[in-house]
Amino acid sequence: MSSIDVPLKGGSFGTAKFGQTQRKDKWWIEPLLVFLGYALFIVYANYAIINYNCGGRPCYEVPGTGYLSPMFSPLLTRGAPTWWPSYAPFFGTMLILWAPLGFRFTCYYYRGAYYKAWWADPISCAVGEPRKSYWGERKWPLLIQNAHRYFLYFAIIFIFILTYDAWNGLWFDGPAGPRTQFGLGVGSLVLILNPILLGLYTFGCHSFRHLIGGRKDILSTSPVRKSCYDCVSGLNRKHMLWAWISMFYVGFVDLYIRLCAMGVWTDWRIL
Amino acid sequence: MSTATFQIWRGERGNGKFVDYTTEYETGMVVLDVVHKIQGSVANDMAVRWNCKAGKCGSCSAEINGKPRLMCMTRLNQLDLTQPVTIEPMKTFPHVKDLVTDVSWNYEVKKKIQKFTPRKPDAPDGTWRVQQADVDRPQEFRKCIECFLCQDVCHVLRDHRLHDEFIGPRFLIHTAQLEMNPLDTGNRLKALKDDYNIGYCNITKCCTKVCPEEIKITDNGIIPLKERVVDEFYDPLGGLFKMFR
Ligand code: SF4
Ligand code: SF4
Ligand code: FES
Ligand code: FES
């Protein structure tokens, strides 16, 4: 195809070896931080899912309050169903966690970031790669990434569920019975911020941006659609930031509730 | 005046090596100035391509300290001059001589893409009416100066050498520009999936990072195209929904 006699395949210079580059900057810092950031969250999430029993009490609730950890919400079940084989461990969160995890796994930002940091494909720009063969997202299993919008639908439902949890976080045990007294604790505020941060992440989603208006070539004839699209585009520009903040915040909320449940930390009542 | 060392890749057809040139420089100089200074003094036979020296013609693409950049838009004060600065030709295209590569593959790729196919003119005089709001998106991609730095850095081409199958970021945004154009009636979605192989892009965004025109290649071009491809081929529920509308 080219007009000179050097073939494109193989190239004039040969392919760079893994890590080979002329770059002089510290290109490995970013993938390293991303790698550690995800590793930290994965380790904590596993710890939280497995250790849901805090001395005979669930770790995801705080007695006397309506707090519920977002990692266990919605609370579909407290224990294994009767038919579940007793030798197999049962974690109720398995029933729900696939949705937010699938959403993040197929998120365009996360994809780009973990292909680099976890799969070194490429580890950084203009740095040699470890593998020769390459399929990208053209074939199975990565064709599954195209299902991102389906996970988005679930993620939007979760925003509503977590908003409901934040509402529940405003109700405490009172003289009239459990969860009958309106109040405000630090935990309530912690729970209110959660769906807000998740919303900033979820509604900046590329698939959402597409569905809300990006799929149309002409937006000027529908002003409402146009403003929605502009709004989503604004969030989308900061998608990476919200991805990180909202992910760590979910971990923080779980930790806060866990520490309260364990009695290590006392929740402060404001009202 | 201070001096600095530049290691320039010299050779023909991929055979060659770095040659050290130590030269004086002034503040405000760009890398292309240095290359010209060296060419004008000690290396008269050095090949370098350039035209505008204003970041608008896209000719002077090279790799400076390993990063794909325009030589005329890289000021020396952006570089660490206490160490030798490397200047190399782009790695993704066939090498011709010194800093010059043969980028004609790109022109062949462009020919494969279905041309702009406008709807019938809106007015009897053969003109169209469009709203600025609707052309904002394609206009971002029209800023492209065809420097091919994005093609150079894209690992699908650079490392995996899939030139025969993948059109690369430059032509993905060219396709996006046509697909999002409110006047265009063409449909390039099947070609995007099967011939241009948009699926090879794993959205690692190196193209966006190097673009001198700061086009958001991945976020505003490639991802929206991937979503349109999903609409057409990978969204059974959406397809069902469309049928009943
Ligand atoms: S985002 Fe896609 S097109 Fe851009 S450099 Fe990466 S793989 Fe290539
Ligand atoms: S998109 Fe940017 S980097 Fe790519 S060819 Fe055009 S101007 Fe150059
Ligand atoms: S692209 Fe990140 S959530 Fe959809
Ligand atoms: S000489 Fe024209 S872009 Fe550098």
Residue B103 has pLDDT above 70, yes or no: yes
Among the partner residues A23, A143, A210, nearest to B66 by beta-carbon distance: A23
Question: Separation of A209 CA from ligand 3 center, angstroms?
Answer: 9
The model's confidence at residue A2, banded by pLDDT at 50, 70 and 90, is very low
Element of type H or E holding A98: helix A94-105
Domain extent listing, chain A: 46-76+90-126+136-262
CB contacts, 8 Å: B102 with chain A: 2-4, 6
Chain B nearest-CA residue for A18: B159
What is the least distance, in Å, from the CA of B145 to any CA of chain A? Answer: 21
Tokens 């007015």 sit on residue = B123
pLDDT tens-digit map of A156-179 = 999 999 999 999 999 999 999 899
B33 lines ligand 4 (CB under 6 A): no
pLDDT the model gives residue A1: 47
For A174-209, what is each residue's pLDDT tens digit?
999 899 999 999 999 999 999 999 999 999 999 999
Cα–Cα separations (whole angstroms), residue B75 to A207, B42, B55: 39, 22, 12
Contact A108 B223 (CB under 8 A): yes
The residue with greater pLDDT, A127 or A2, is A127
Start-end of CATH 3.10.20.30 domains in chain B: 2-101
Which of B46, B26, B24 is closest to B36 using CA atoms? B46
Instruction: Please name the fold of domain B2-101.
Output: Ubiquitin-like (UB roll) (3.10.20)
Which amino acid residue places its CA nearest to atom 7 of ligand 1? B201
Q: Do A22 and B66 touch (CB under 8 A)?
A: yes
Judge if the beta carbon of residue B207 lies within 6 A of ligand 1. Answer: yes
Centre of ligand 3 to C-alpha B217, Å, is 17
- In the reported structure, the alpha carbon of residue B9 is separated from the centroid of ligand 2 by a whole-number distance in angstroms of 23
A64 to chain B, minimum CA–CA distance in Å? Answer: 44
- Decide if B153 and A1 are in contact by the 8 Å CB cutoff: no
State which of A101, A105, A107, A242 you would mutate to test the pocket of ligand 3, scoring each by most atoms of that ligand within 8 A of its C-beta. Answer: A107
CA dihedral A52, A56, A60, A62 (to 10 degrees): -160
The closest residue, in CA terms, to atom 4 on ligand 1 is B207
Residues of B with CB below 8 A from A138's CB?
197, 199-200
Smallest Cα distance from A38 to chain B, Å: 17
Q: ∠B185-B189-B195 over CA atoms, to 5°?
A: 125
Residues of chain B with Cβ-Cβ distance to A128 below 8 Å are 159
Which pLDDT value is given to residue B78? 94
pLDDT tens-digit profile of A56-109? Answer: 889 999 999 999 999 998 887 777 777 877 777 777 787 888 999 999 999 999
Q: Is the CB of B205 under 6 A from ligand 1?
A: yes
Q: Where are the alpha helices (DSSP H) in chain B?
A: 31-41, 104-112, 132-142, 149-153, 155-158, 168-179, 189-194, 206-210, 223-229, 236-243
Write out chain A residues lying below 8 Å of B65, CB-based: 22-25
Confidence (pLDDT) at A186: 96
- Distance of alpha carbon B120 from alpha carbon A194, whole angstroms: 51
pTM greater than 0.90 (yes/no): yes
Candidate from A9, A122, A207 with C-beta closest to B161? A9
- How confident is residue A4, by pLDDT bands cut at 50, 70 and 90? low
> Which chain B residues are within 8 Å of A5, Cβ to Cβ?
13
**Gap between the Cα atoms of A90 and B216, Å rounded:** 45
How confident is residue A271, by pLDDT bands cut at 50, 70 and 90? confident
Phi and psi, residue B30, nearest 5°:
-110, 170
* Proximal ligand: closest to the CA of A200: 3
Q: Helix, strand or coil for residue B121?
A: coil
Residue B132 pLDDT greater than 70, yes or no: yes
Q: Which CATH superfamily is domain B104-244 in?
A: Alpha-helical ferredoxin (1.10.1060.10)
Q: Is A34 in the pocket of ligand 3 (CB under 6 A)?
A: no
Q: What is the mean pLDDT of residues B28-40?
A: 97
Q: B147 in ligand 1 pocket by Cβ < 6 Å?
A: no
Q: Are A183 and A121 in contact (CB under 8 A)?
A: no
Tally of residues, chain B: 245
